[in-house]
Amino acid sequence: MIRQVWPSGRDLGDEDLEQLYRYPDGRRWVAVNFVSSTDGAIAVEGRSAALSTPADRIVYRLGNDLADVVLVGAGTAMAEGFEGMRPDERTAARRRRFGLAPIAPVAVVTTGRSLPPDAPVITKASVPTLVFTGSTAPSALRDAWTANGARVFVAGEAEVSAERVVETLAAEGLGRIDCEGGPRLFGSLIEAGVVDEFRLTVAPFLVAGTASRAAVGGVVDPAELELASVLTDGASVLLRYLTPR
């Protein structure tokens, strides 16, 4: 059982969680999801799966079940073995109730170096994957992504513009955006000022080592966030923060 401890104390059922984690109607919304250990690690041996807990998996699923599109960096897509969304009956029913397309596409951000043409996120996806890259990515590579079924968008030069990625997704009718990492993509979204919500699961583990933090990139002035909710299942702590507008 997941219990909300702030702003009010109460047990939450499935419908309560859906309302808490749904995306606002009628506007673009970028929600970023991460799980970390209590000492700040976001991965064990390069993957987040070892840190995920039952409560984290519930809110992670809500993030992509209720989104128009799942946004991910190419490095994360490859490391985590992304193959696109494959809704089961529960997810399909949830998406119907919220008026969403049957399957959310995946949008991958890459400079070109970390996304091979035969990446599973392209070749095994049930609906076409959107690939965002820069104009310096080799044209042969862009053609190969397209030949394997991806829709390719140029959104920058040597680096991909996070702002242009978000603007393009919204223009495509994919304004409810669930970002699932990695750190460099999250950092670029912070720098562009387009993050609306940060969803963080603090899992009950200590990891130490040299694991990365949730966001890396250029230095920005610290942006104060508004705490929206605190949930727990008695082990993990599930936090939602909003960016003041």
Residue 37: the pLDDT is 95
Residue bearing the bigger pLDDT, 216 or 4: 4
Backbone angles phi, psi at 234, to 5 degrees: 95, -10
Residue 36: the pLDDT is 95
Write the DSSP string, 35-102.
EEETTS---BTTBSGGG--HHHHHHHHHHHHT-SEEEEEHHHHHHTT-------HHHHHHHHHTT--S
Write the DSSP string, 183-202.
HHHHHHHHHHT---EEEEEE
User: What is the crossing angle of helices 183-192 and 162-171, to 10°?
Assistant: 80
pLDDT digits (tens, 9 = 90+) for 148-200: 999 999 999 999 999 999 999 999 999 999 999 889 999 999 999 999 999 99
Domain ranges of the chain: 21-242
Q: What mean pLDDT is predicted for residues 19-41?
A: 95
Q: What mean pLDDT is predicted for residues 43-67?
A: 92
Q: Are strands 2-6 and 237-242 parallel, antiparallel or unpaired?
A: unpaired
Tokens representing 41? 């690690």
Q: What mean pLDDT is predicted for residues 43-65?
A: 92
Res. 65: pLDDT tops 90: yes
Give the C-alpha separation, 241 to 232, whole Å: 15
pLDDT digits (tens, 9 = 90+) for 117-160: 999 999 999 999 999 999 999 999 999 999 999 999 999 999 99
* Those residues with Cβ within 8 angstroms of residue 43's Cβ, 6 or more apart along the chain or in another chain: 50, 51, 211, 212
Class of domain 21-242: alpha beta
CA 235 centroid distance within chain: 23
Residue 215: the pLDDT is 86
pLDDT digits (tens, 9 = 90+) for 186-241: 999 999 999 999 999 999 999 988 878 888 887 788 888 999 999 999 999 999 99
Closest CA to 152 of 110, 119, 185: 110
Res. 245: pLDDT tops 80: no
- Label residue 192 exposed, middle or buried (CB < 10 Å: 0-12, 13-18, 19+): middle
Give the number of residues written for the chain. 245
Residue bearing the bigger pLDDT, 213 or 14: 14
* pTM, rounded to two decimals: 0.95
Residue 136: the pLDDT is 95
Residue 223: the pLDDT is 80
Backbone angles phi, psi at 20, to 5 degrees: -70, -35
